[in-house]
């Protein structure tokens, strides 16, 4: 029975929403301010993006595994969750800044414009993360989804320069970089094609 519940899409979406619920509760109760929400929302967006991106390299390197197949079936949900947390990040940034003039004044800073461009790249990825778009775009859908790679680079630069701290960003991104590199440079498992 528990396995059936865990395999339901609403259950998976509830799990994806759980960090947001836990973060938003203290904000709505007035225990934290918008500025305090910027780091956790951005970090969870990056985590879900990375989780979605590592699945294909893992499949190529490890071959089919039940747990991996289960996650790959939910990869688009991970990507949409990354976009949802990025939207929360943007909303709290706008609330924290308070006005357009202040946002424009810092727009050209490397840590800022990289975040905006990454967000713009996330939009078509999220909008087309559905079966109808896959059918309509055909081979173009996979090409469009490759925008996630420049988006990931921009997110990494945004994170490093906003916090002026290389360590936490690298802890999150190094596994992704190593897996993507391994997918392209290590020999693939025999008789298996990666996703």
Token code pair at residue 143: 């090409």
Asked if pLDDT for residue 139 goes beyond 50, the answer is yes
Helix (H) or strand (E) run with residue 123 in it: helix 110-127
Asked if pLDDT for residue 6 goes beyond 80, the answer is no
Token code pair at residue 94: 């706008």
Tell me the pLDDT tens digit for each residue of 36-78. 999 999 999 999 999 999 998 998 888 889 999 999 999 999 9
Confidence band of 190 (pLDDT split at 50, 70, 90): low
Confidence band of 192 (pLDDT split at 50, 70, 90): very low
Per-residue pLDDT, 183: 75
Please report where in the chains the tokens 């688009």 appear, as a residue: 76
| Dihedral angle over CA of 151, 115, 42, 49, nearest 10 | -10
Give the residue from 78, 84, 91 showing the smallest Cα distance to 37. Answer: 91
Contacts of 87-92 with C-beta under 8 Å, sequence gap 24+, read 88/20, 88/23, 88/37, 88/41, 88/45, 89/37, 89/38, 89/41, 89/42, 89/45, 90/119, 92/34, 92/35, 92/37, 92/38, 92/41
Mean pLDDT of 101-106: 95
Spans of all domains in the chain = 18-185
Contact 82, 48 (CB under 8 A): yes
- pTM for the model stands at 0.89
Give residues with Cβ within 8 angstroms of 185, minimum separation 6.
none
Per-residue pLDDT, 194: 45
In terms of pLDDT, which residue wins out, 135 or 164?
A: 135
Residue 190 main-chain phi, psi, to 5 deg: -60, 145
Give the residue from 36, 45, 52, 75 showing the smallest Cα distance to 156. Answer: 45
Asked if pLDDT for residue 162 goes beyond 70, the answer is yes
Per-residue pLDDT, 191: 47
Q: How many helices (H) and strands (E) does the chain have?
A: 11, 0
């Amino acid at each position: 029975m528990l396995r059936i519940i865990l395999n339901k899409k609403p259950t998976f979406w509830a799990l994806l929403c759980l960090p947001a619920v836990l973060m938003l509760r203290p904000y709505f109760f007035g225990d934290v301010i918008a500025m305090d929400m910027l780091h956790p929302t951005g970090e969870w967006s990056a985590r879900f993006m990375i989780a979605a991106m590592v699945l294909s390299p893992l499949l190529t390197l490890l071959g089919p595994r039940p747990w991996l197949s289960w996650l790959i079936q939910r990869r688009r949900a991970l990507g949409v969750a990354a976009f949802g947390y990025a939207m929360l990040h943007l909303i709290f940034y706008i609330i924290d800044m308070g006005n357009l003039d202040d946002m424009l004044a810092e727009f050209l800073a490397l840590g800022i414009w990289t975040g905006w461009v990454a967000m713009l790249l996330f939009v078509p990825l999220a909008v087309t993360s559905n079966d109808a778009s896959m059918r309509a775009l055909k081979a173009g859908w996979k090409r469009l989804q490759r925008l996630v790679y420049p988006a990931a680079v921009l997110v990494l630069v945004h994170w490093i320069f906003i916090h002026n701290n290389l360590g936490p960003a690298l802890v999150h991104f190094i596994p992704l970089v190593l897996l993507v590199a391994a997918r392209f440079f290590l020999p693939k498992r025999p008789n298996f094609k990666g996703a």
